[in-house]
């Protein structure tokens, strides 16, 4: 939190945290190795210059954002202005757009590659999904929905993920998500025999 938007030296951080310089250096070394902070220049010191540190883009992404609240309010506003069918169309269009931006799969690619790309696309939006094969059926599941904050209030958002997966896999996908308690994803890939 101390490095958000303001580069700081080891001395600055040690003073802010009440730690020794060596303790701060050890933490910074670990964070730098993990790609979360980086050296961002040199600041003058009383005896010698000091390296300044700042968050990397990856480090910045770890901090909570207000996206969930914004998305919920946006969908709520849309619900007040457009029909349920039009809202579903908007969700599906967003899913198609995400699929186009996130996947290089072609319909001629093997099903396994398209499924791998679908998993990567879901991970990109925050999901931890897995592919399950059950009796010639393919399911894509997750114990935690990547869009759970929105889905809890607006189940129509599942149509975005359903369309994202269908576009990448190149087949009809049917959403069978569990929205009780913590939403969990379950998508059934249809026509698997035709795809293989």
Answer yes or no: do 41 and 76 share one domain. Answer: no
Q: Decide if 16 is inside a domain.
A: yes
pLDDT digits (tens, 9 = 90+) for 23-40: 999 999 999 999 989 998
Q: Decide if 153 is inside a domain.
A: yes
Answer yes or no: do 114 and 39 share one domain. Answer: no
Q: Decide if 3 is inside a domain.
A: no
Answer yes or no: do 142 and 46 share one domain. Answer: no
| Strand order across the beta sheet in which 130-134 lies | 130-134, 137-142, 185-189, 173-175
Cα within 13 Å of Cα(123), Cβ side: 11
pTM above 0.75, yes or no: no
Answer yes or no: do 37 and 130 share one domain. Answer: no
Does 194 have pLDDT greater than 60?
no
Angstrom distance (rounded) from CA 114 to CA 138? 12
For 90, residues 6+ apart whose C-beta sits below 8 A from its C-beta are 78, 82
- What percentage of the chain carries pLDDT values higher than 70? 93
pLDDT score recorded for residue 89: 96
72 burial type by CB count under 10 A (0-12 exposed, 13-18 middle, 19+ buried):
middle
User: What total of structural domains would you count in the chain?
Assistant: 2
Answer yes or no: do 72 and 51 share one domain. Answer: no
Answer yes or no: do 119 and 89 share one domain. Answer: yes
CATH of the domain at 27: 1.10.10.10
CATH of the domain at 75: 3.30.1380
- What percentage of the chain carries pLDDT values higher than 90? 44
Answer yes or no: do 146 and 72 share one domain. Answer: yes
Does 108 have pLDDT greater than 80?
no
pLDDT digits (tens, 9 = 90+) for 123-176: 888 888 899 987 778 999 988 888 888 888 899 999 999 999 999 999 899 999
* Dihedral angle sign, alpha carbons of residues 31, 34, 36, 42: positive
> How is residue 185 written in tokens?
């994803």
175 burial type by CB count under 10 A (0-12 exposed, 13-18 middle, 19+ buried):
middle
Q: Decide if 1 is inside a domain.
A: no
Instruction: Map residue 108 onto helix, strand or coil.
Output: coil
Domain holding 96, by residue range, is: 67-195
pLDDT score recorded for residue 49: 76
Q: Decide if 157 is inside a domain.
A: yes
Higher pLDDT pick, 66 / 187:
187
Answer yes or no: do 76 and 47 share one domain. Answer: no
Answer yes or no: do 79 and 156 share one domain. Answer: yes
């Amino acid at each position: 939190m101390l490095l958000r938007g303001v580069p700081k030296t080891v001395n600055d951080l040690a003073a802010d945290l009440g730690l020794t310089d060596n303790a701060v250096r050890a933490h910074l070394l670990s964070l730098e190795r993990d790609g979360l902070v980086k050296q961002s220049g040199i600041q003058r010191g009383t005896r010698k210059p000091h390296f300044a540190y700042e968050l990397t883009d990856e480090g910045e992404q770890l901090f909570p954002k207000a996206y969930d609240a914004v998305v919920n309010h946006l969908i709520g506003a849309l619900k007040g202005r457009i029909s349920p069918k039009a809202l579903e169309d908007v969700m599906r269009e967003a899913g198609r757009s995400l699929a186009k931006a996130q996947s290089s799969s072609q319909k001629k690619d093997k099903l396994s590659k398209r499924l791998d790309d679908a998993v990567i696309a879901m991970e990109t939006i925050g999901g931890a999904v897995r592919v399950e094969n059950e009796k010639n059926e393919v399911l894509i599941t997750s114990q935690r929905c990547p869009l759970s904050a929105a889905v809890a209030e607006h189940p129509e958002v599942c149509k975005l993920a359903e369309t994202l997966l269908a576009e990448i896999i190149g087949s009809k996908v049917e959403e069978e998500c569990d929205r009780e308690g913590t939403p969990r994803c379950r998508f059934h890939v249809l026509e698997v025999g035709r795809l293989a």
